[in-house]
Amino acid sequence: MFTAEMLESIKKVEATRAERIGYEPRRMTAEEKDTLLRQYHPDFREDGFSIIQIGPNKGEKAPVELCTLLHSNSRIKDENIDLSKIDYDVDVLVIGGGGAGSSAAIEANENGANVMIVTKLRIGDANTMMAEGGIQAADKENDSPQQHYLDAFGGGHFAARPELLRRLVMEAPDAIAWLNNLGVMFDKNEDGTMITTHGGGTSRKRMHACKDYSGAEIMRVLRDEVINREIPVIDFTAAVELILDKNGQAAGAVLQNMETGEYLVARAKTVIIATGGAGRLHYQNFPTSNHYGATADGLIMGYRAGAPLLYQDTIQYHPTGVAYPIQIFGALVTEKVRSLGAMLVNIDGEAFMHPLETRDVCAASIIRECSDRGKGIPTPTGGMGVWLDTPMIEMIHGEGTIERRIPAMLRMYLNYNIDMRKQPILIYPTLHYQNGGLEINGEGFTKAIDNLLVAGEAVGGIHGRNRLMGNSLLDIIVFGRNAGKAAAKKSKTVSLSELSLEHINSYAKKLEAAGIETDTVSPMLLPKYTR
């Protein structure tokens, strides 16, 4: 499967392997990291960004592709939507059937609200399902919420909103306990101690996992619970715009059946946006680890209704995406592979960095190796990559470790006749996570629009400008649950006036006033991959 050039390089990797075992490359100093990021991280590439022309974040930068969507027409601009014909009438409308949406729906149901989930694909066809590595929580003796806070705050470049981060770390152990009580099977020792490992940037081993199916295990349990509770789930139906009422409060959403194109009106006293990330926008032409529907829809709908974004200009590129074989190009190689001891190695078999630096630093370092330093390994499709020396794992932890701890990874590569137990794998950064999103307060409400909440990856500010591994699965549970509870509670006091889509017209006018002419419509809903 590997090319001749790759095999040649693998020999060098093998030759240096023995001496690399037990050798710990120096961690970079703060200054070194800073310089590296400025030079090589995609967030610092000027041509990757443009300036937002209208709305609450006017004048700030955003990725070109996101900007284009913000500067687009509403899908329903020229449609005649009859808001008096209400198809669904609920207390709490949850938009998105991933981990954040499902945990919100469960808690809203638990708190006595009439709640409904509307989701673009099937419930669970979501980034949550794909998370492999794990979920953080400071629940061990040598660890504490304030230590977790410090790691996340520093890892996020000291930009996280303190109030949000406090909730994240303080409610983390309870989130794990909640999941465990629902039946999520965490990796444990025989005495019940959770098996925890490091993730990039953690100072304590606080990554809890369910093998390398952590997200899948969490998601399938949450989905099962949603179904057991008989919470209505409207699959293959996207929200395409929020509906406000005459007083400007959130009041529901216009939905569209993905297959028939039919529009439907959902009225709700509170609305939770839980639409996840933006990987499928392929910023700067990067491949992505994200699911098919990750097109930033919630950000677009929220923004058009007037809710501000926060940190929309920072994106996470996961350092280890598949560079080869092409069939799984961009797929994620979980960070756990590095936490288990696999080193990043260049074409000459040299370890060029500490494997557990934060993701942004790690990605930038790989890009440097593959560009200016000329130490990358070329792939047949014109790309580049570096080795992740996986056979080290079994040398360090014993034979069988890979099959036991990262079975999904092993299976993915074996499909293409690559045995990662015996040969290293070729990786390159992949577009992975939207650090920024809609701004919320501690309870999960947006600051601009009453009764509109946001949870999960669609939120900005929890992690600052970079997120640590394992803090996202955590945030979708912590903030998903909070949003569900808060939305249920709030819905009891809300009374709605007449429904309105006036904000869409006023957004269109602003576009016109800014001189923006466009044929594009948004939200995007699905990427275009047909030839």
Partner 1 sequence: MQEMVNVFLYGKKYTVPADLTIMTAMEYAGYKLVRGCGCRHGFCGACATIYRIKGNNELKTCLACQTQVVDGMYVASLPFFPTDKRSYDIEEIRPEQKIMMELYPEIYSCIGCNACTKGCSQSLNVMQYIAYAQRGEFEKCAEESFDCVNCGICTSRCPAGISHPMVGLLARRLTGKYIAPKSEHLKKRVEEINKGAFDDLIAKIMEKPIEEMKELYNKRDIEE
Ligand X SMILES: Cc1cc2nc3c(=O)[nH]c(=O)nc-3n(C[C@H](O)[C@H](O)[C@H](O)COP(=O)(O)OP(=O)(O)OC[C@H]3O[C@@H](n4cnc5c(N)ncnc54)[C@H](O)[C@@H]3O)c2cc1C
- Strand residue runs (E) in 418-500: 425-434, 437-439, 452-454, 459-460, 499-500
In the structure encoding, which two tokens stand for residue 280, read together? 């499928």
Under rule CB under 8 A, residue 216 binds partner 1:
yes
Pick the closer one to ligand X by CB: 214 or 379: 214
Among the listed residues 338, 359, 405, 503, the single catalytic one is 338
CA atoms within 13 A on the CB side of 339: 29
Binders of partner 1 in range 15-34 (CB under 8 A): 30
# chain residues binding ligand X, by CB under 6 A: 47
DSSP letter for each residue of 504-516 = HHHHHHHHHHTT-
Exposed, middle or buried, 530 (CB in 10 Å: 0-12/13-18/19+)? Answer: exposed
Contact (Cβ atoms closer than 8 angstroms) between residue 231 and residue 223: no
Using CB under 6 A, pick the residue from 201, 293, 355, 376 that binds ligand X. 293
- Cα 15 to Cα 331, 349, 427, distances in angstroms: 28, 7, 20
Query: How far apart are CB 121 and partner 1 at their closest, in Å?
Result: 6
Cβ distance 271 to 41 under 8 Å? no
- Residue 197 site contact among ligand X, partner 1, none (CB < 5 to 8 Å, cut-off depends on kind): none
Which of residues 42, 48, 55, 101 is near ligand X by CB under 6 A? 101
What residues between 407 and 436 interact with ligand X by CB under 6 A? 433
Select the residue interacting with ligand X from 72, 197, 290, 312 (CB under 6 A).
290
Q: Which of 235, 139, 149, 146 is nearest to 193 (CA)?
A: 139
Rounded to an integer, what distance in angstroms lies between the CA atom of residue 3 and that of residue 215?
33
- When the beta carbons of 90 and 351 are compared against ligand X, the nearer one is 90
- Partner interacting with residue 473 (select from partner 1, ligand X, none; CB below 5-8 Å by kind): ligand X
139, 131 contact by CB (below 8 A)? no
Which tokens in the block code for residue 378? 């070329």
Among 63, 96, 330, 461, the residue binding ligand X under the rule CB under 6 A is: 96
Give the shortest CB-177-to-ligand X separation in angstroms: 17
User: Is residue 530 involved in binding partner 1 (CB under 8 A)?
Assistant: yes
Number of residues that bind partner 1 (CB under 8 A): 86
Q: How far is CA 308 from the centre of its chain?
A: 19
Contact track, ligand X, 239-278, x by CB under 6 A: x----------------------------------xxxx-
Q: Could you tell me if 293 and 118 are in contact, meaning their C-beta atoms sit under 8 angstroms apart?
A: no
Please identify which residue in 118, 244, 309, 386 interacts with ligand X, judged by CB under 6 A. Answer: 118
Amino acid at 507: Y
Per CB under 8 A, 474 contacts partner 1: no
Toward ligand X, which CB reaches closer, 73 or 275? 275
**Taking CB under 8 A as the criterion, which residues in 241-280 touch partner 1?**
258-259
Q: Please state, in angstroms and as integers, the Cα–Cα distance from residue 379 to each residue in 363, 370, 375, 419, 529, following that order.
A: 18, 11, 13, 18, 22
| Min CB(193)–partner 1 separation in Å | 6
What 3-state DSSP class applies to 73? Answer: strand
The counts of H helices and E strands in the chain are 17, 23
10 Å Cβ neighbour count for 186? 20
| CB 381, min distance to partner 1, A | 9
Nearer residue to partner 1 within complex by CB, 235 or 350: 235
Interface segment toward ligand X; rule CB under 6 A; list 67-75, 122-130, 149-157, 412-420: 122-130
Told to check if 222 binds ligand X by CB under 6 A, we report no
Considering only residues 305-334, where is the footprint of partner 1 by CB under 8 A? 325-328, 331-332
Nearer to ligand X among residue 10 and residue 486 (C-beta): 486
* Residue from 63, 341, 436, 456 in contact with ligand X (CB under 6 A): 456
Q: Which stretch binds ligand X (CB under 6 A): 131-139, 160-168, 342-350, 439-447?
A: 131-139
**Is residue 123 within 8 Å of 522, Cβ to Cβ?**
no
CA distance 309 to 521: 19
* Contact positions with partner 1 (CB under 8 A) in 30-59: 30
Q: Which does 523 bind (CB under 5 to 8 A by kind): ligand X, partner 1, none?
A: ligand X
What are the b/e assignments for 88-115, b being 16+ CB within 10 Å?
A: bebbbbbbbbbbbbbbbbbbbbebebbb
Q: Among residues 181 and 493, whose Cβ is nearest to partner 1?
A: 181
At a CB cut-off of 8 Å and minimum separation 6, what does 406 contact? 132, 211, 212, 334, 336, 337, 340
Q: Which of 71, 318, 463, 503 is catalytic?
A: 318
Of the listed pieces 37-45, 133-141, 258-266, 503-511, which binds ligand X according to CB under 6 A?
Answer: 133-141
368 is catalytic: no
Task: Tell me: does residue 132 bind ligand X (CB under 6 A).
Answer: yes
> Taking CB positions, which residue lies at the least distance from ligand X?
98
Query: Does residue 467 carry a catalytic annotation?
Result: no
215 sits near ligand X (criterion: CB under 6 A): yes
Q: Torsions phi, psi of 364, nearest 5?
A: -60, -40
Given 79, 89, 224, 350, the residue binding partner 1 (CB under 8 A)? 224
Q: Are 255 and 265 in contact (CB under 8 A)?
A: yes
Longest Cα separation, the chain: 73
The site map against ligand X for 464-503 (x = CB under 6 A) is -----xxxxx--x---------------------------
Q: Which residues are catalytic?
A: 318, 338
Binding site for ligand X (CB under 6 A): 95-101, 118-121, 125-128, 130-135, 214-215, 238-239, 274-277, 289-291, 293-294, 297, 332, 433, 456-458, 469-473, 476, 523
